[in-house]
Structure 1
Amino acid sequence: MGAPVAACAAAHATSVLWCTEGRSPASIERAEQYGLEPVPTLQQLLVRSEVVISLCPPAAAEDLARDVAAHRFTGVYVEANAINSERTARIADLLASTARVVDGGVIGSPPVGGKSPTLYLSGPGPETALVEQLFVGTAVRTVVLGAGIGQASALKLAYAGFQKTSRVLVGLAYALAREHGVDRELREIAARRTDSYLAEPEYVAKAAARAWRWGPEMEEVADMLTAAGLPPQMLRAAATTLARWNDAKDDSDLTLSDALDRLTRP
Structure 2
Amino acid sequence: MDQPTVGILHPGSMGAAVAACAATNAAAVLWCENGRSTASVERAARFGLTSVATLAELLERSDIVISLCPPASAEDLARDVAGHHFAGVYVEANAINPERTQRIAALLPDATVVDGGVIGSPPVGGKTPTLYVAGPAEATARIEALFANTAVQATVLGTEVGKASALKLSYASFQKTSRVLVALAVGMAREHGVDQELIEVASRRTDSYLSESQYVAKTAARAWRWGPELEEAADALTAAGLPPEMLRAAASTLARWNDAKDSELTLTDALDRLAQP
**TM-score normalised by structure 2 residue count:** 0.95
User: Is the counterpart of residue 260 in structure 1 residue 267 in structure 2?
Assistant: no
Picking from 83, 94, 98, the partner of 1:85 is: 98
User: Is the counterpart of residue 10 in structure 1 residue 18 in structure 2?
Assistant: no
CA distance in 2, matches of 1:35, 1:25: 15
Counterpart of 1:142? 154
How many Å apart are 1:7 and its aligned residue? Answer: 0.5
Structure 1, 223-232 or 184-193: larger mean CA deviation:
184-193
Counterpart of 2:64? 51
CA distance in 2, matches of 1:136, 1:264: 46
Counterpart of 2:39? 26
How many residues get paired?
A: 264
How many Å apart are 1:209 and its aligned residue? Answer: 0.4
CA distance in 2, matches of 1:245, 1:4: 25
CA distance in 2, matches of 1:95, 1:145: 21
Question: Structure 2: which amino acid aligns with 1:19?
Answer: C
User: Is the counterpart of residue 39 in structure 1 residue 52 in structure 2?
Assistant: yes
CA distance in 1, matches of 2:133, 2:209: 28
Structure 1, 149-158 or 183-192: larger mean CA deviation:
183-192
How many Å apart are 1:247 and its aligned residue? Answer: 1.0
How many Å apart are 1:81 and its aligned residue? Answer: 0.1
Question: Structure 2: which amino acid aligns with 1:179?
Answer: E
Picking from 161, 176, 179, the partner of 1:164 is: 176
Picking from 60, 67, 76, the partner of 1:63 is: 76
Q: Secondary structure at the match of 1:148?
A: coil
Counterpart of 1:107? 119
Q: Secondary structure at the match of 2:161?
A: coil
How many Å apart are 1:196 and its aligned residue? Answer: 1.0
CA distance in 1, matches of 2:88, 2:249: 39
Cα shift readout 1:199-239 (whole Å, capped 9, x = no counterpart)? 11011000000000000001000000000000000000000
Q: Secondary structure at the match of 1:17?
A: strand
Counterpart of 1:133? 145
CA distance in 2, matches of 1:242, 1:20: 30
CA distance in 2, matches of 1:137, 1:129: 14
Q: Secondary structure at the match of 1:146?
A: coil
User: Is the counterpart of residue 205 in structure 1 residue 217 in structure 2?
Assistant: yes
Q: Secondary structure at the match of 1:27?
A: helix
How many Å apart are 1:194 and its aligned residue? Answer: 2.0
How many Å apart are 1:184 and its aligned residue? Answer: 1.1
CA distance in 1, matches of 2:196, 2:121: 29
Cα shift readout 1:92-135 (whole Å, capped 9, x = no counterpart)? 00102x11100000000000001100000000000000111100
Question: Structure 2: which amino acid aligns with 1:8?
Answer: C
After the TM superposition, list the runs of 4 or more consecutive aligned residues in structure 1 that deviate by more than 6 angstroms: none
CA distance in 2, matches of 1:84, 1:68: 20
Counterpart of 2:247? 235
Cα shift readout 1:28-60 (whole Å, capped 9, x = no counterpart)? 111000000000100000000000000000001
CA distance in 2, matches of 1:189, 1:30: 41
Q: Secondary structure at the match of 2:205?
A: coil
How many Å apart are 1:195 and its aligned residue? Answer: 1.4
Question: Structure 1: which amino acid aligns with 2:111?
Answer: A
CA distance in 2, matches of 1:138, 1:146: 21
Question: Structure 2: which amino acid aligns with 1:32?
Answer: A
Question: Structure 2: which amino acid aligns with 1:50?
Answer: D
CA distance in 1, matches of 2:196, 2:88: 55
Question: Structure 1: which amino acid aligns with 2:187?
Answer: A
Question: Structure 2: which amino acid aligns with 1:169?
Answer: L
Counterpart of 2:7? none
Counterpart of 1:178? 190
- Point out where structure 1 has 5 or more consecutive residues left out of the alignment: none
- Point out where structure 2 has 5 or more consecutive residues left out of the alignment: 1-13
